[in-house]
Amino acid sequence: MGQQFPDIVSVEWLRDHLDDSTLVVVDSSTHLTLPKDGPYSVEPGRATYDSAHIPGAVFADLLTDFADPDSAEAWTAPASERFAAASGALGIGDGVRVVVYDQHDGYWATRFWWHLRLEGFDDVAVLDGGLPAWKAAGAPVTDTPVSPTPVTFTARRRDDLIRSTQQVRDAIDDDKTVLVNVLDPATYRGDTSTYARPGHIPSSINLPVARIRDPETGLLRPVTELRALFEEAGLLDPGITPVTYCGGGIAATGVAHALALAGRDDVAVYDGSLTAWTADASLPLTVGADPR
């Protein structure tokens, strides 16, 4: 892949490199509300970006510019040409490095991290802890608008990093693939659900995305702890390919990112996830505990 940039950077690192002319900082904030009952709702984070963002950061709207306008599911990955145009407009292209963050739990940032890698751009890192960690460290924020200089983004789609519904269906009985549901255990078991039908995709294991972060600091756990977590789940076995999924393909990228830190940069994401899967009544679901 030729990656020269780490998959994660600290607040201290970004503060020291904020004036680097080859660095593009991206705020990918999006506001997702998950009620206990009923469908989820989502809103772009432009207003919160306008009120306070890291100095020099540009805003990436994952609901419009970086989404397929013709998809039934929100924020589905668009055609490479659309993604390339939107990235180039933000100043993302050859010869730059990207640090992406969001204003919540970091999974919209990992979504953009994954999406850039999907299109062949590897020099992208996630700001550990996002804007909350930046503010907690006393680092500056601003409401000053940013006008990026457009560049050319060359998309090189890596189809191995994304899965369609049909591909996931075919993988249910594939012993070379491990489907990983990253939602909470109750949703995994089908005790509760905000999707069309409760349960999980047959043969998938449960590894809640909450387990990759320190609940007190919001930062990712040390790589040694992540490796132990993934080793226990069998996800570091080079003979298998992990495919992560969640409700709509957002939190799934958080586990994919953590797996990359642990040495697995080949993890695929089921883009439609349960939103797409449960909408098709012909597709099977399992209700109950982890099959393993």
Domains and CATH numbers, the chain: 8-157 (3.40.250.10), 160-279 (3.40.250.10)
Question: What's the confidence (pLDDT) of residue 143?
Answer: 97
pLDDT at 284 over 70: yes
How does residue 74 score in pLDDT terms, banded at 50, 70 and 90?
Answer: confident
Computed from CA positions of residues 106, 279, 171, 230, in that sequence, does the dihedral angle turn out positive or negative?
A: positive
Question: What kind and span of H or E run contains 253?
Answer: helix 251-261
The stretch 123-148 carries a mean pLDDT of 96
What is the total residue count of the chain? 292
Closest alpha carbon to 76 in 84, 85, 68, 87: 68
The CA-to-CA distance between both ends of the chain, in Å, stands at 33
What percent of the chain lies above the pLDDT cut of 70? 95
- Residues with Cβ < 8 Å from 237, sequence gap 6 or more? none
pLDDT at 2 over 50: no
How does residue 252 score in pLDDT terms, banded at 50, 70 and 90?
Answer: very high
